[in-house]
């Protein structure tokens, strides 16, 4: 059976190579038959990879431990959900999963454009298939998911598998890789269209309009993947942190930063015909960083707590990345004349300028994170010593960047194109600035002295005010014309221009998340050894240890504490932190107890048992405002979905006087 799976992958690889050749030959020689044949190959590849994936999942669900992969990542006692999730739990399987997602995306792209863009589609197909061929090369020839365990020439089956690391047996971790992959793989589509457009010198910006929704959805998945990972780290790892600037975390952040920059700078090209070269560079950089992130994560290049063993596939990635970078750079440089800008920057106080700074700062952050992540590699190459930099480096650079970005989020949408008069600036920003100053004053008066926290809260007020004002002004105008109530007016307003108002909602989500981030400046914690009856005090809480017990079951042994939470003498709740030791994987996990509230989380971790006294070691944390990060995330996704909804009024030609040309009323374009 595994032979069928391996065959399907090899067949798919052959078809991918055929597809590249047929697309390009068909285009250059004017043979539409070859182009269509190449597109059929894309569908066939999807079918073959679905077949291979189904075989692997079947093997996982039926505990087929003849397969090395199944034995390595699943075991009999594992719940069904995680047996399925083991598909992406290890190197080979996750590469197959990646390939299947890529094949699915490619099939959708080819199908939806089967009658359009005939000029550039062959190159789009070819670009997609080059990437496909690379990944199929890996799973076909280097790290096959269908390898069997063997002794001599006989295939053996392990009695039971090594199972999934219990740290990963958490719902967010089951979803985190799929979300991340849907995001990372998806960026090949805008990149492919950009390359197709560049190669054929398409007039106009068709590649941007066509891929706008793709880019947004992909970005949404990337964000989801990153935030799920953070949520998992917070709830499972026991130290209450959601981001550690670990190389693997950074690898997922890098393409997100350039993708965010890209989402904004394409608006400049759409509205003003500016930044064409820059957009090509950004979309290529995002795609290359996606591949690069995969490379860092899997190759063991940089040691990390997520670190995976050093693997031969690293070299393949390096070659592929080098070819990608070289090819893309040559193409862009060769067609610089085609990418000439149509307008210029006129004033520092303009929307163009704020977009430019937005891009500058996001790319600067990307560069800084990249530099910090690769520091051990670079320092070793130059000085012979391997030097790492830690969270202090990343925070020092990224906190000011984040705050500046927050400022731009408020300024950008309100400032006029080209040049903004002082009068417009006053109208837009007077009250928000007053609000921000008031926030700062209140905080300082209350004794808060943490500089960045005060800045952050003030800026949050500033941005929130601008967003609410936008909705208010717009809804008021609609109300006065149509007489609807406020709620309906806001809905109508948003529906008329979902890109703009959906974008505002996304920005609001970011503001809420920053409020959550700022809370970390006020974290408190304490660690104490306790026995039954002891109390721990932190902040306004008194925590009484009511029960301490232990036990075991076939899966794991456990230590558990029942902790009663008191505040001002009143009992609020009982929390149950636990520590487990899983036998199969010899892995300890802590089941953290969290009491989540809007103003702060009370977080209890059963850290261990003291060797000397056999007392329990309990850690108590108070994390102010951290729930706002998750609330902000939800708002962010809601906003993203809003942006995807088509606007009510689509590209209608307004009845307006055109100066200099005979008065004409153009027909309404069918939508």
Partner 1 sequence: MILFVAALLAAGAVLFILLVRQKDLPEPELISPVEHLEERKARIYDGLRDLTFEYRVGKLSEEDYQRTKAELQADLAKVQAEIEAVLKAGPAPRPVPASAPLKPAPAGELFHCLQCGAAFERPMKFCGECGQPMRGGEA
Partner 2 sequence: MKRYSKFAVLVVVIIGSLVWLALGGINESKTYYKTVAELREMGDRALDKRLRVAGDVEAGSIVRMGREVRFVLRQNDMRLTVIYDGGEPLPDTFRDGAQALADGRMSEDGVFRASKIQAKCASKYEAKPGSEPIRRISGAT
- The residue ranges that bind partner 1 (CB under 8 A) are 1, 3-4, 7-8, 11, 15, 18, 26-27, 30-33, 35-38, 40-41, 43-44, 47-48, 51, 114-116, 118-119, 122, 202-206, 209, 270-271, 414, 416-421, 423-424, 427-428, 473-474, 476-477, 497, 500, 649, 651-654, 656-661, 666, 669
| 318 binding partner 2? (CB under 8 A) | no
Please identify, using beta-carbon distances, which residue of 310 and 599 lies nearer to partner 2.
Answer: 310
Site mask, partner 2, residues 144-183, x = CB under 8 A? ---------------------x-xx---------------
Per partner kind, with CB cut-offs from 5 to 8 A, the member of partner 2, partner 1, none near residue 607 is partner 2
Strand partners, 541: 538, 567
Of 400 and 435, CB closest to partner 2: 400
Q: Which among 557, 555, 575 is positioned nearest to 565, based on CA atoms?
A: 575
Annotate each residue in 183-212 with x if it binds partner 2 (CB under 8 A) or - if it does not, as one string. Answer: ------------------------------
553 binds, among partner 1, partner 2, none (CB under 5 to 8 A by kind): none
Q: What is the dihedral of CA 583, 588, 594, 600, to 10 degrees?
A: -160
122 versus 161: smaller Cβ distance to partner 1:
122
Q: Does 91 bind partner 2 (CB under 8 A)?
A: yes
619 binds partner 2 (CB under 8 A): yes
Q: Which stretch binds partner 2 (CB under 8 A): 108-116, 280-288, 332-340, 341-349?
A: 341-349
Q: Which is nearer to partner 1, 204 or 384 (CB)?
A: 204
* Measured distance CA(108)–CA(189) in Å, rounded: 10
Taking the least distance from each CB to partner 1, the nearer of 414 and 518 is 414
User: Could you say which of partner 2, partner 1, none residue 499 binds, taking C-beta under 5 to 8 angstroms by partner kind?
Assistant: none
393 near partner 2, judged by CB under 8 A: yes
In whole angstroms, the minimum distance from the beta carbon of 487 to partner 2 comes to 41
- Any contact of residue 555 with partner 2 (CB under 8 A)? no
- Per CB under 8 A, the segment of 103-111, 189-197, 387-395, 467-475 that binds partner 2 is 387-395
Give, in degrees to the nearest 5, the angle at Cα 422 between 357 and 406.
Answer: 30
Tokens encoding 163 = 């199972």
Give residues with Cβ within 8 angstroms of 664, minimum separation 6.
658
Contact of residue 231 among partner 1, partner 2, none (CB under 5-8 Å per partner type):
none
Give the tokens for residue 178: 């799929």
Strands 150-151 and 600-609: unpaired
**Tokens, residue 658:** 């055109």
Asked if residue 389 binds partner 2 (CB under 8 A), the reply is yes
Q: Which of 121/230 has CB closer to partner 1?
A: 121
For partner 2, which stretch binds (CB under 8 A), given 389-397, 439-447, 493-501, 627-635? 389-397
Q: How far is the CB of 432 from partner 1 (least distance, A)?
A: 13
Q: How far is the CB of 657 from partner 2 (least distance, A)?
A: 31
Interface pick for partner 2 out of 205, 343, 400, 472 (rule CB under 8 A): 400
Give whichever of 33 and 382 is closer to partner 2, judged by the CB atom: 382
371 touching partner 2, by CB under 8 A: yes
Is the separation of the CB atoms in 252 and 221 below 8 Å?
Answer: no
Question: For residues 598 and 570, what is the distance between their CA atoms, to the nearest angstrom?
Answer: 19
Stretch that binds partner 2, among 39-47, 225-233, 395-403, 479-487 (CB under 8 A): 395-403
Q: What x-and-dash track marks residues 61-90 binding partner 2 by CB under 8 A?
A: -----------xx---------------xx
CA-CA distances (angstroms) from residue 119 to 11, 200, 201, 291, 546?
28, 7, 10, 27, 73
Q: Is 263 left (phi over 0), alpha (psi -120 to 50) or beta?
A: alpha
Touching partner 2, residues 238-257 (CB under 8 A): 238-239
Q: Residue from 357, 417, 541, 566 that binds partner 2 (CB under 8 A)?
A: 357
Q: How far apart are CA 472 and CA 489, in angstroms?
A: 9
Given partner 1, partner 2, none, residue 83, with its beta carbon under 5 to 8 Å by kind, binds none
Answer for which of 104, 341, 343, 395 binds partner 2 (CB under 8 A) is 395
Residue number with CB closer to partner 2 (485 or 612): 612
Q: What is the DSSP letter of 544?
A: E
Burial class of residue 495 (count of CB atoms within 10 Å of its CB; 0-12, 13-18, 19+): middle
For the record, the structure tokens of 390 come out as 């830690």
Inter-residue contact 588 to 558 (CB < 8 Å) = no
- Closer residue to partner 2 (CB): 305 or 468: 305
Q: Is 301 helix (H, G, I), strand (E, B) or coil?
A: coil
Helix axes 451-482, 498-519, angle to 10 degrees: 150
- In whole angstroms, give the CA distance from residue 541 to residue 544: 10
Contact 138, 313 (CB under 8 A): yes
Chosen residue from 589, 627, 633, 640 binding partner 2 by CB under 8 A: 589
- Residue 330 is a binding residue for partner 2 (CB under 8 A): no
**Residue 619's binding partner out of partner 1, partner 2, none, with CB under 5 to 8 Å set by partner kind:** partner 2
Nearer residue to partner 1 within complex by CB, 27 or 73: 27
The correct pick among 54, 381, 477, 668 for binding partner 2 (CB under 8 A) is: 381
Q: Which of 7, 175, 401, 448 forms a contact with partner 2 (CB under 8 A)?
A: 401
In angstroms, rounded to a whole number, what is the distance separating the alpha carbons of residues 598 and 582?
34
Closest CA to 499 of 364, 646, 608, 294: 646
Return the structure tokens found at 187.
């960026």
For 38, 84, 88, 290, 321, the CA distances from 175, given in Å and listed in that order, are: 33, 11, 10, 19, 27
CA distances, 363 to each of 201, 214, 273, 324, 393 (Å): 27, 21, 21, 20, 17
| Residue 419, CA distances (Å) to 345, 346, 348, 425 in order | 9, 7, 8, 10
The tokens for 539 are 């902040």
In this complex, which beta carbon is closest to partner 2, that of residue 94 or of residue 144? Answer: 94
- Considering only residues 457 to 516 of the shown chain, the ones binding partner 2 according to CB under 8 A are none
Query: CB of residue 162 vs partner 2: minimum separation in angstroms?
Result: 9
Span 291-310, contacts to partner 2 by CB under 8 A: 297-298, 300-301, 303, 305-310
Which of 62, 388 has the CB closer to partner 2? 388
Which residue from 611, 556, 610 is spatially nearest to 578, judged by alpha carbons? 556
**Cβ contacts of 251 within 8 Å, gap of 6 or more:** 292, 293, 294, 296, 297, 373
Looking at 539-629, which runs of residues are DSSP E strands? Answer: 541-552, 556-567, 570-575, 578-582, 587-591, 593-596, 600-609, 616-624
């Amino acid at each position: 059976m595994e032979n069928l799976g391996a065959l399907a992958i090899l067949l798919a690889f052959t078809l991918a190579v055929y597809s590249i050749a047929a697309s390009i030959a068909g285009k250059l020689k004017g043979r539409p038959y070859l182009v269509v044949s190449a597109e059929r190959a894309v569908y066939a590849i999807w079918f073959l990879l679905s077949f291979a994936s189904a075989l692997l999942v079947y093997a996982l669900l039926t505990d087929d431990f003849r397969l090395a992969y199944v034995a390595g990542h699943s075991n009999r006692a594992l719940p069904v959900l995680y047996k399925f999730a083991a598909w992406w739990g290890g190197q080979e399987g996750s590469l197959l999963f990646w390939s299947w997602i890529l094949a699915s995306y490619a099939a959708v792209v080819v199908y939806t454009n089967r009658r359009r863009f005939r000029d550039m589609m062959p190159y789009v197909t070819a670009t997609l298939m080059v990437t496909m061929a690379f990944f199929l090369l890996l799973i076909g020839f280097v790290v096959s998911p269908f390898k069997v365990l063997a002794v001599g020439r006989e295939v053996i089956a392990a009695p039971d598998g090594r199972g999934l690391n219990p740290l990963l047996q958490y719902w967010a971790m089951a979803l985190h890789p799929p979300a991340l992959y849907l995001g990372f793989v998806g960026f090949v589509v805008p990149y492919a269209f950009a390359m197709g457009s560049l190669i054929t010198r398409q007039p106009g910006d068709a590649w941007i309009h066509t891929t706008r929704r793709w880019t947004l959805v992909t970005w949404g998945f990337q964000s989801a993947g990153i935030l799920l990972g953070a949520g998992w780290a917070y709830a499972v790892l026991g130290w209450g942190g959601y981001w550690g600037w670990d190389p693997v975390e950074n690898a997922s952040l890098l393409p997100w930063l350039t993708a965010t920059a890209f989402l904004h700078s394409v608006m400049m090209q759409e509205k003003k015909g500016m930044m064409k070269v820059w957009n090509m560079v950004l979309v290529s950089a995002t795609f290359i960083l996606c591949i690069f992130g995969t490379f860092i994560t899997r190759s063991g290049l940089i040691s990390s707590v997520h670190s995976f063993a050093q693997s031969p596939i690293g070299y393949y990635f390096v070659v592929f990345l080098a070819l990608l970078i070289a090819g893309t750079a040559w193409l862009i440089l060769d067609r610089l004349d085609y990418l000439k800008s149509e307008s210029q920057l006129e004033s520092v106080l303009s929307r163009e300028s704020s977009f430019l700074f937005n891009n500058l700062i996001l790319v600067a952050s990307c560069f800084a994170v990249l530099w910090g992540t690769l520091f051990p590699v670079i320092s070793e190459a130059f000085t012979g010593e391997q030097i790492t930099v830690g969270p202090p480096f990343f925070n020092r650079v990224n906190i000011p960047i984040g705050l500046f970005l927050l400022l731009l989020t408020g300024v950008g949408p309100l400032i006029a194109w080209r040049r903004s008069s002082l009068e417009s600036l006053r109208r837009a920003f007077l009250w928000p600035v007053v609000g921000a100053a008031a926030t700062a004053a209140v905080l300082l008066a209350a004794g808060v002295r943490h500089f960045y926290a005060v800045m952050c809260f003030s800026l949050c007020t500033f941005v929130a005010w601008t967003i609410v004002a936008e909705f208010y002004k717009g809804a008021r105008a609609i109300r006065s014309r149509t007489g609807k109530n406020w709620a309906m007016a806001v809905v109508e307003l948003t529906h008329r221009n979902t890109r703009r108002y959906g974008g505002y909602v996304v920005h609001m989500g970011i503001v809420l998340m920053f409020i959550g981030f700022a809370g970390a400046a006020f974290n408190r914690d304490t660690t104490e050894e306790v026995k039954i009856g002891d109390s721990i005090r932190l902040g306004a809480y008194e925590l009484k240890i009511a029960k301490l017990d232990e036990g075991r079951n076939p899966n794991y042994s456990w230590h558990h504490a029942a902790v009663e939470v008191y505040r001002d003498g009143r009992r609020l709740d009982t929390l149950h932190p636990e520590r487990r030791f899983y036998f199969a994987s010899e892995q300890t996990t802590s089941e953290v107890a969290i009491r989540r509230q809007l103003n702060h989380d009370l977080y209890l971790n059963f850290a261990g048992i003291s060797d000397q006294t056999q007392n329990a070691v309990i850690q108590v944390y108070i994390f102010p405002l951290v729930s706002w990060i998750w609330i902000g995330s939800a708002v962010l996704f809601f906003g993203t979905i809003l942006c995807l909804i088509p606007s009510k009024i689509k590209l209608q030609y307004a009845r307006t006087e055109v100066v200099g040309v005979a008065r004409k009323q153009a027909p309404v374009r069918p939508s």
